[in-house]
Structure 1
Amino acid sequence: MRIGELSERAGVSTRTLRHYEELGLLPARRRANGYREYDEADLRLLAEIRDLVELGFALEETRPFLDCLRAGHPTGTSCADARAVQRRKLAEVDDLIARLRTVRAELADQLDTPVPRCDLTC
């Protein structure tokens, strides 16, 4: 399929597809006439990228998952390198949750602290 069809089926712009190609995330196969050519496997790679980005992964972090799919594994999480990236991302999420809990506790404490009455416009 050509870039326009892939764009439509994947729900991304052709500009996005070209960007992924520049980053080496999407293969750049060309026909004799110079047109880009894609197949169903590329559609699967795009779905993997989309799913991972929605989970908060940076584009570069998707590479091990895509490599795993390209190697013929049933999922992008079937390979050790991808699992390592997942573990790092999980640790980042855990850290973020801990920081957000601290911020929340501080805000709750501030709201629970009585405020002296202000006779002037505060």
Structure 2
Amino acid sequence: MRITVDPDSGTPPYEQIRQHIDDLITTGSLATGHRLPSVRQLAGDLGLAPGTVARAYRELEQGGLVQTRRGAGTRVIGSNRPAADPLLAKARTYVASARALGCDDAQIKDAIERALTDSSRSRG
């Protein structure tokens, strides 16, 4: 597993890590049971604070993609998502990103409804 973080990106480093791992899981490149590097190891490899990697792992755990257990590390649990539903995968990514911004369920739903309305107007 090779992860890179672009320090010049407008996307926070924890979100870059989360997105990269999410993509690897969604595409099946990381199988169920695969153990992710420890927070300290990945932080050291990337030259980031451990809290940055820990936040990315928490976001992945909240998204149902990984599970962290004391002594067993962080393992992939979400690679069995149906590949036939790419829309659901994108929705999960959107929800995780919105939660990272501090949005609650109502705000997330409102943003989706507004995007749908805007999209309908532009097609009409």
TM-score per shorter chain, which class?
0.3 to 0.5
Higher helix share: 1
* Structure with the higher strand share, 1 or 2: 2
Bigger Rg over Cα: 1
Q: TM-score, normalised by structure 2?
A: 0.33
